[in-house]
Structure 1
Amino acid sequence: MHVAALVNDTVGALSLGYYHDPDTVVFGTGSDSCYLERTDAIIKSQGLLTTSRSMISSFILFLVVNMEWGNFWSSHLPRTSYDIDLDAESSNRNDMGFEKMIAGMYLGDIVRMSQESDIF
Structure 2
Amino acid sequence: ALGTSQPPVDAGERLLSLRRMPSVTSLHLTNNRMTVLPAELCCLETLQELELGHNQIRALPEELFNLTNLRSLNVDHNPILSLPTNLSHMPWLLELSARSLPVNLREGYSGGMSGEWSRGAH
Normalization by structure 1: what TM-score?
0.22
Normalization by structure 2: what TM-score?
0.22
Structure index of larger Rg: 1
Higher relative contact order (CA 8 A, sep 6+): 1
